[in-house]
Structure 1
Amino acid sequence: MRVLLVGDYPPPHGGVAVHVQQLHGYLRERGVETVVLDIGKGGRPAPDVIPVRTPTQYGTRLAGFLREGWTVHVHTSGNNPKSWMLAATAGVRARAPRVITLHSGLLPDYLAASVARRAFARVALAGYSRVVAVSEAVREALARCGVPEEKLVVYPAFCGSQVRPGRVSPEIEAARARRLPLLAMAHHPSPVYGRGLMFRALRMIADELPGVGLAVFGPGTRSEEFLRDAREHRVEELIEDLGELEHSRALALISRCDAFIRPTTHDGDAISVREALALGVPCVASDVCGRPHGTYTFQVGNAVELAERVHHALEQGPAQVVSPDAGPVLLKLYGDLVQPTILGGGETHAAQ
């Protein structure tokens, strides 16, 4: 069996990119010949990762793997036209088995906004043997587009076996030493990530726990907008700004904090939430989507309830959880798809 993963690959360390990286690592550890077509903005050298930066590069590389019968697994958000063009391009007629995972919690609203979008999604997904939705809400949205139920699979984009924190840096240790409790949050400039809400809640928490600090990591933490919001909410002195972290360092930070916060307004199945739970760290997240067992949830947009749930999480501590692992599930799925191809006289390369 040979598997081609198509999607973003770190850096930057977004949810889709991290899942592709972890799935790539899982398959390689089990002896599966695996290559990534990196369509993101990365560029850091990695074994068996091929950066493609133009449509011509992408089309040429993809066509070659399809001709040779590789099982192709596309990973994309599904919440914008570019994402659906990617899905349609990789879904062209070919004998090679194809799978797609649609990751974004924004997908249901995106498809609901237009009949044309739903029609295009149905056509784009027609060439895939299986369509993996990261949540029940995503599955339902795809079913409403007319994607056959027998093609749809619901499974979180998470490889529990690959959650491996890196070395704790001096900056993380310093933040840990300064703050009690130490909270952590993944940041992005998009309002979806709930920065303003987190800052409002942090001000409330600090009024009762003056030693509290919030470690933020990710893009945009040094922007004018970030600094302005911190000043307006009077939390400047409470922020531990760690900038963009390589994924294993981000895991190291989460493992050292007292609680991880996910105050988003939309979500698919957030890898960071599952990572915190897998590391035995209390996690507080908005109720904007189904959250894993053990998550302390609050009403989306409600800063008062967020602050209350953080207090509760700190008092109660982490829950005992069993983390899902998409690696074995997807490996079996690939095998089930490849076997009929072999028996049916398709590309014999797929069996190698």
Structure 2
Amino acid sequence: MKVLLIGDYPPPYGGVAIHVQQLHGYLRACGVEAKVLDIGKGGRPAPDVHPVRSPAHFALRLAGFLSAGWMLHVHTSGNNPKSWVLAGLVGGMPGLRSSRVITLHSGLLPDYLAASGARRNFARVALAGYARVVAVSQAVKDAVVACGVPEEKVVVHPAFLSSQVRPGPVPAVVDAARARRRPLITMAHHPSPVYGRKLAFRALKLLAREYPDVGLALFGPGTDAEDFIRDARELGVAGRLEVLGELEHSAALGLMARSDVFLRPTTHDGDSISVREALALGVPCVASDVCARPEGTRVFKADDAQDLARVVTEALAAGPAVQPSVDAGPELLTLYTELAGMPAEAAMPFTKSDDTDIDTGETKHAAQ
């Protein structure tokens, strides 16, 4: 069985890119021949990861994989026209020997499709060429089915592989932040208003009344932008921020593991990888109530800074607690084998050793 993953690959370290990276490593560790067509900004060199230089280059490489009979698995947000053009292109290219799967990742997808009948029609046509549509949440599945996609073709699997959550070494600035902040709260940052930066800053100011040494560590893009600096100053929290910029994913997990609470104050969301990572690490997670959250998440009323501060205080009082985690790896491997017409036992991955590299999937053990 040969599987081609099509999607973003780190860096940058967005949720889709991380999932593609981890799924690629998982499949390779299970003895599956797996490659990635990186349609993002061209991440770091990695085994069997092929950056796409242009639309023509993408079409040429895709045609080659199709003619060779590779199974294709597209990973995309589904909340913008470019995403659906990609879905339609991959789903519509000739290649009868190749089964196709697509995962739709974004929590913004339901609103995007609901806004226009033309969008829903385009989505239905774009998805017609896929044997399975993987939705990361029930809300995403419901939106896709409402477009006219047969319900039996759509499955729900959170884009999360708990087996790949492995904190790595952190920069010295992380240890310094941990030493001077009590408590230390962490948050994945993005310049989009959807991520709730201003709300987090307002709640941080409220928390400082009870916790004089509280700090908020932010990692991700956009923390050096003028509007970020302006918001921090205007909301009176500049001195309480630990601004870490973009971190390698393993370092971000290391930061998260050292923190007292992880925040997810988004205004819209899908099935957030970072929320599940925090819970898997035993870190209390506080997230907005804009969507269904995994068991163990403490939710607050969206856009309510006082409620956010209240729930963070409760989470700090309760302390750490590891929560059960899902792992989409075995589920997707089973799906691939079914579509390839292979026996079910072919989906039983061997037990991976602790020295498996999550970036390359390389391990010292052979498949059992």
Give the residue type in structure 2 aligned to 1:22: Q
Q: Distance in 2 between matches of 1:215 and 1:51?
A: 32
Q: Which residue of 2 aligns with 1:347?
A: none
Matches for 1:1-352 after TM superposition, within 5 Å: 1-92=1-92, 93-95=94-96, 96-339=98-341
TM-score (norm 1): 0.96
**Superposed CA offset, 1:144-188 (max 9, x none):** 000001100011000000011111221110000010000000000
Unaligned runs of 5+ residues in structure 2 are 344-368
Q: Distance in 1 between matches of 2:324 and 2:265?
A: 23
Q: Distance in 2 between matches of 1:204 and 1:12?
A: 32
Query: How many residues in Structure 1 have an aligned counterpart in Structure 2?
Result: 341
**Superposed CA offset, 1:227-281 (max 9, x none):** 1000111000000011110101100000000010000001110000000001110
Asked whether the 8 Å contact 2:42–2:52 carries over to 1, the reply is no
Q: Distance in 2 between matches of 1:181 and 1:318?
A: 13
**Superposed CA offset, 1:189-245 (max 9, x none):** 000000000000000001111110000000010111001000111000000011110
Aligned residues: CA RMSD: 1.0
Asked whether the 8 Å contact 2:102–2:132 carries over to 1, the reply is yes
**Superposed CA offset, 1:73-105 (max 9, x none):** 000000000000000011014321100000000
Q: Distance in 1 between matches of 2:35 and 2:104?
A: 19
Give percent identity, aligned residues only.
Answer: 69
Q: Which residue of 1 aligns with 2:347?
A: none
- SS across alignment from 2:187: strand
Give the residue type in structure 2 aligned to 1:94: G
Asked whether the 8 Å contact 1:283–1:318 carries over to 2, the reply is no
- How far 1:33 sits from its partner (Å)? 0.4
Q: Distance in 1 between matches of 2:199 and 2:186?
A: 14
TM-score (norm 2): 0.91
Give the residue type in structure 2 aligned to 1:19: H
Q: Distance in 1 between matches of 2:24 and 2:8?
A: 12
Moved over 3 A (4+): none
Give the residue type in structure 2 aligned to 1:295: T
Give the residue type in structure 1 aligned to 2:168: G
Give the residue type in structure 2 aligned to 1:169: P
- SS across alignment from 1:208: coil
Asked whether the 8 Å contact 1:280–1:319 carries over to 2, the reply is yes
Unaligned runs of 5+ residues in structure 1 are 342-352
Give the residue type in structure 2 aligned to 1:90: V
Q: Distance in 1 between matches of 2:272 and 2:53?
A: 27
Asked whether the 8 Å contact 1:294–1:318 carries over to 2, the reply is no
